[in-house]
């Protein structure tokens, strides 16, 4: 199998194993609990209500009637289908992490579609690009995997806040929003995360590292070029500058951890070398996409 193929039968077999694990440990949902406060014809008893003309007579509890001479109907909790929104960082800073990010999203989308959840997938950079419009069911698995496989990095910068606003303008229905990214956004990540939460979405972040991002191995006079904007600059790298870079990266990643903890946002952290199924297994066994 090609390590880059998301539609190879061997890769899909690994996705199926993760779906079966999700069914076993989470009851087949990416979210630990999605019961609605609404009452209706579900399967879990919730309450009684007085019978009124027009109600379904099949819901009458005749045992209560026999004992208390009162007509009441049973109400049940509804389990609503979840809406899962997958946001993939498609900016050029993701080049060395893009395949890993795609595999992680492939697993999450595969589980969601097989659980009959509604799944929508977008790529984000300087704008939001659709990869899969809201879809449901196993028949959408291959189109989803193909669109993900064909996706390329794009854009001249990353504007997470703007992409979050565009996303919300398209989707009023609340759901689970999963963001897979290195979170190296020039404008920061806090505003975008706050915006998504404010609109009622459950947010989960999965940060993907490349070890080369975390430290600077350059020495002496070098010309650096921004992979996203193309801007270049001549600098001199001494041990002091290299140390300052590593510290800045550590502080940036720690600020993401603190922001997610403060907001009750789930956060997973991995690198681009760990097998993707190990990462997803860890998420599932910890209770799914929960803060």
Q: What is the DSSP string of 119-140?
A: EEEEEESSSEEEEEEEE-SGGG
The whole-number pLDDT of residue 216 equals 83
Q: What band does 54 get if pLDDT is binned at 50, 70 and 90?
A: low
pLDDT for residue 115: 85
Mean pLDDT along residues 218-231: 76
Q: Are strands 72-79 and 44-50 parallel, antiparallel or unpaired?
A: antiparallel
Query: Which of 255, 91, 58, 88 is CA-nearest to residue 159?
Result: 91
Name, in order, each residue with C-beta under 8 angstroms of 19's C-beta and a sequence gap of 6 or more. Answer: 110, 111, 114, 115
Identify how many contiguous H helices and E strands the chain contains and give both numbers: 9, 11
Question: Mean pLDDT across the stretch 235-245?
Answer: 87
* 204 or 53, higher pLDDT: 204
**Residue for token pair 């990462």:** 279
Question: Domains of the chain by range and CATH?
Answer: 9-28+82-285 (3.40.50.410), 35-79 (no CATH)
For a pLDDT cut of 90, what percent of the chain falls above it?
A: 59
- 3-state class of 269 per DSSP? strand
pLDDT of residue 236: 81
Residue 151 has pLDDT above 80, yes or no: yes
Contact 168, 177 (CB under 8 A): no
* pLDDT average, residue stretch 87-116: 95
Q: Which of 43-52, 178-187, 200-209 has the lowest mean pLDDT?
A: 43-52
Measured in Å, how far apart are the chain's first and last C-alpha atoms? 35
Confidence check: pLDDT of 1 > 50: no
Which residues are CB-contacts of 141 (< 8 A; sequence separation ≥ 6)?
12, 109, 110, 113, 114
């Amino acid at each position: 199998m090609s390590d880059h193929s998301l539609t190879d039968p061997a890769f899909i077999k690994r996705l199926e194993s993760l779906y079966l694990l999700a069914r076993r440990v989470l009851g087949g949902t990416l979210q630990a609990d999605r019961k609605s406060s609404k009452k209706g014809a579900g399967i879990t008893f919730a309450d009684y209500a007085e019978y009124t003309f027009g109600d379904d007579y099949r819901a009458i509890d005749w045992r209560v009637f026999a004992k208390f001479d009162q007509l009441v109907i049973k109400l049940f909790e509804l389990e609503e289908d979840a809406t899962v929104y997958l946001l993939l960082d498609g900016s050029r800073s993701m080049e060395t992490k893009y395949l890993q990010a795609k595999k992680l999203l492939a697993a999450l989308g595969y589980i969601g579609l097989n659980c009959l959840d509604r799944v929508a997938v977008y790529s984000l950079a300087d704008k939001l690009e659709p990869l899969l419009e809201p879809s449901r069911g196993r028949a959408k698995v291959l189109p989803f995997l193909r669109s993900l496989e064909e996706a390329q990095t794009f854009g001249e910068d990353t504007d997470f806040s703007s992409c979050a606003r565009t996303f919300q303008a398209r989707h009023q229905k609340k759901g689970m929003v999963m963001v897979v990214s290195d979170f190296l956004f020039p404008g920061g990540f806090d505003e975008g995360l706050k915006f998504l939460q404010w609109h009622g979405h459950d947010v989960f972040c999965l940060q993907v590292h490349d070890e080369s991002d975390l430290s600077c191995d350059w020495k002496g006079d070098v010309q650096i070029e921004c992979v996203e904007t193309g801007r270049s600059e001549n600098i001199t790298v001494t041990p002091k500058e290299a140390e300052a870079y590593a510290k800045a990266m550590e502080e940036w990643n720690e600020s993401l951890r603190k922001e997610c903890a403060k907001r009750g946002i789930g956060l997973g952290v991995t690198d681009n070398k760990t097998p993707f199924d190990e990462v997803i297994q860890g998420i599932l066994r910890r209770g799914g996409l929960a803060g």
